Amino acid sequence: MEGGGGESQTKFNKYAAACAIVASMISIIFGYDTGVMSGAMIFIKDEMKIRDTQVEVLAGILNLCALAGSLLAGRTSDYIGRRYTIVVACVIFMLGSILMGYGPNYGILMTGRCVAGIGVGFALMIAPVYSAEVSSPSSRGFLTSLPELGISIGILLGYISNLIFGKLSLKLGWRLMLGIAAIPSLILGFGIVQMPESPRWLVMQGRLKEAKKVLQLVSNSTEEAEARFHDIKVAAGIDENCNEEFVKLPKNTNGEGVWKELLLRPTPAVRWILIAAIGIHFFEHAVGIEAVVLYSPRIFKKAGVTGKQKLLLATVGVGLTKFTFILISTFLIDRVGRRRLLLTSTAGIVASLTVLGSCLTIVEYHNGQNLLWALCLSIISTYVFVAFFNIGLAPVTWVYSSEIFPLKLRAQGYAIGVAVNRLMNATISMSFISLYKAITIGGAFFLFAGISVTAWFFFYFLFPETKGRSLEEMELLFTKGIKATNETLQHQPTARSDNV
C-alpha cells in the first residue's frame, strides 16, 4: 500500500537504515563514557583520595560541558551540515578520551571529561536530527530511536569494561576504561565521511541536484523521491516547479534569525512545540535515571550488596535491562505510538520508584540487620525502573523532540532541548550524593517518584500523537487542540508523503 505522494508504507529502505545506524554509532561511544564512569569513579576515588563532592563534580561536569556543546552543534550543523558535525563530535570525543586515559591528576582528568562533554553535546544533538531527516514517516520512530539504543549498548559495554579492567592494577585499570574510547572515535570519524549529507540540509543550501540524488537513495521509488523532494522545496521556500541544480537562497538558511522565531516572536504552534521539547528533555532526567546509571553501585551498597565485584556485577544487570527494553521499544514506537508508550512508561516509573524508595527506607531504618527480602526487592525495583524508563521515556524523548520542529528551526530548536537535557543530567549527577545524605536515599527516590507524577500529567495534556505523521504536518498538529489532533490521527492512519 502507498500513501500520498507515492511513498511506500510497507517497504523499509535499507540505505536510509544504514545511514541512521552509522550516525547512531557516535551514541555508543557516549553511552560507553557514561557507563564506564560509574565503575571508574570507585577506583579514581581510591587512587586520588578525592572527596564525595569532587566525585559528584567529576560525574556531572560532562553534562554541563555537553550543554554548551549541544548549543554549538545546532548552529554548526546548520552551517557545515549534519554529516560533518558528526565528524567534529568524533574528533572531540577522541581528544577527551585520550586526556582522561592519561589522567595523571584530578585537574587533567576533569579537563578530559569537559572535552568529552562537548563531544557528547554534539553527538546527542546531531544523531537523531540526521536520522529523522533521512527517514520516512513509517520508519522514522524506529530509525530516530537508534541513537538511544546506541547509548544503551555503550552503557552496557562500559559496565562490562568495569568488570574486565577492574581486575587490573589500581593505577592502570580505570585509565584503560576511560582511554580506550579514543579508538572507536577515530574509526567512526573516517566512516562518517562515506555517508550522504541530509537531503533537507542540502535543499536549505540550494544544492538541489545533490539533495535529489540522496533522496533517490533513501526512498523506495522514484515517485516517492520526487514527492519528498517537492515537499522539501515548498517548505524551504523554493518554487515547487524549480528544476535548477543550484538555487541561491537567503542568508538565513544557515541558521540566522532562528533564535528570534523560537524565543522572541514564536507563533502559538512553535511556542507549544518548544515547551513540549523542553519539558520532555527536563523530565527525562528529573525522574532520576542518572542517579541509577551513575550511582547504581552506591544504591546497591546501601541496599546491602557488598564487595566491588558484586557491586559491578549487579550494575551490569542495569545495563542489560536498559539494552533489552530499548531494543524492544525501537520495534514498538512506530506501531504503538509515541504518546501511549510515554504515558505507560511514566506510570511504571512512578510505581517502581515508590517501591524502591520504600525498600531503601526500610533497609536504612533497620541498619545492621540482614533484610534479604528488602535487598532483593530493591534490586528488582531498580531493574523495573530502568525497564519502564527505557521502554518509553528514553527513546520517545529523542524521537519526539527531533521530529516536531519545522525545518528551519529544527537543528537549533532541538539543540535547546538537548541543552536542557544535559543541564538536568548534570544537576542530578552532581547533587545526588548530597541529596540522599540530606533526605536519605529512600527519600531521594520518593522525590523522583513525585516528579514523575507531574511528568505524567504534563505528557497527558500537552503531547499530541505524532506516529505516522510526516514532518510537514507537525506544526499543524500543534496548532490544533490535543483532543482534535488525536481524533484526527485515528481517522487518518495512512501518512502523507514525507516532508520536513
Confidence of residue 307 (pLDDT cuts 50, 70, 90): low
- The whole-angstrom separation of Cα 455 and Cα 467 is 20
pLDDT value of residue 411? 81
Same domain? For 63 and 210 the reply is yes
All cell numbers assigned to 252: 538565513
Is residue 5's pLDDT more than 50? no
Q: What is the rounded average pLDDT of the residues 312-317?
A: 74
For residue range 124-147, list pLDDT tens digits in order. 888 888 888 888 777 888 888 888
Same domain? For 314 and 422 the reply is yes
Spacing of C-alpha 405 from chain mean position = 16
Three-state SS for 276-287 is: HHHHHHHHHHHC
- The whole-angstrom separation of Cα 133 and Cα 199 is 7
pLDDT value of residue 4? 41
For residue range 60-89, list pLDDT tens digits in order. 788 788 888 888 888 888 889 988 999 999
- The whole-angstrom separation of Cα 201 and Cα 76 is 12
Same domain? For 210 and 265 the reply is no
Same domain? For 184 and 141 the reply is yes
Same domain? For 339 and 445 the reply is yes
Is residue 305's pLDDT more than 70? no
Question: Which has the closest alpha carbon to 60: 435, 445, 456, 450?
Answer: 435
Confidence of residue 472 (pLDDT cuts 50, 70, 90): low
Same domain? For 332 and 200 the reply is no
86 assigned to some structural domain: yes
pLDDT value of residue 255? 53
- The whole-angstrom separation of Cα 310 and Cα 345 is 29
Is 481 in a helix, a strand, or coil? coil
Highest mean pLDDT (candidates 119-123, 248-252, 284-288, 474-478):
284-288
Environment class of residue 443 by beta-carbon count within 10 Å: exposed (0-12), middle (13-18) or buried (19+)?
A: middle
More confident residue, 429 or 274: 274
- Total domains in the chain come to 2
Same domain? For 177 and 317 the reply is no
Same domain? For 318 and 207 the reply is no
Q: 366-384 as b/e, with b when 16 or more CB fall inside 10 Å?
A: eeeeebeebbebbbebbbb
- The whole-angstrom separation of Cα 75 and Cα 230 is 26
Confidence of residue 485 (pLDDT cuts 50, 70, 90): low
pLDDT value of residue 500? 41
Range of weakest confidence among 186-195, 257-266, 326-335, 375-384:
257-266
Question: Which has the closest alpha carbon to 236: 211, 273, 214?
Answer: 211
Domain boundary among 249, 284, 317: 249
Same domain? For 189 and 275 the reply is no
Same domain? For 260 and 242 the reply is no
Which CATH number does the domain housing residue 21 bear?
1.20.1250.20
For the chain, give the number of residues: 500
All cell numbers assigned to 143: 530509525
pLDDT value of residue 282? 96
- The whole-angstrom separation of Cα 405 and Cα 270 is 8
Instruction: Please list the alpha-helical segments (H only) found in 333-403.
Output: 338-365, 372-388, 394-403
Domain boundary among 249, 277, 303: 249
Q: What is the rounded average pLDDT of the residues 220-228?
A: 84
For residue range 323-371, list pLDDT tens digits in order. 899 899 988 988 888 999 999 999 999 999 999 899 888 887 777 566 7
For residue range 423-467, list pLDDT tens digits in order. 898 888 778 888 888 998 889 999 999 999 999 999 999 999 888
Helical pair 106-134 and 82-102, crossing angle rounded to 10 deg: 160
Residue 106 belongs to what domain range? Answer: 14-249
Q: What is the rounded average pLDDT of the residues 187-210?
A: 87
Same domain? For 287 and 184 the reply is no
- The whole-angstrom separation of Cα 441 and Cα 438 is 9
Beta-carbon contacts of residue 18 (< 8 Å; ≥ 6 apart): none
Contact 434, 295 (CB under 8 A): no
- The whole-angstrom separation of Cα 219 and Cα 208 is 16
CA distances from 414 to 129, 145, 156, 288, 396 (A): 8, 15, 27, 22, 14
Range of weakest confidence among 205-219, 223-237, 366-380, 455-469:
366-380
Q: Which residues pair with 2 in a beta bridge?
A: 8
Same domain? For 384 and 279 the reply is yes
Residue with cell 520508584: 353
pTM of the model: 0.76
Is residue 497's pLDDT more than 70? no
pLDDT value of residue 10? 47
For residue range 361-389, list pLDDT tens digits in order. 888 777 756 677 877 888 888 899 999 99
Q: What is the rounded average pLDDT of the residues 266-286?
A: 93
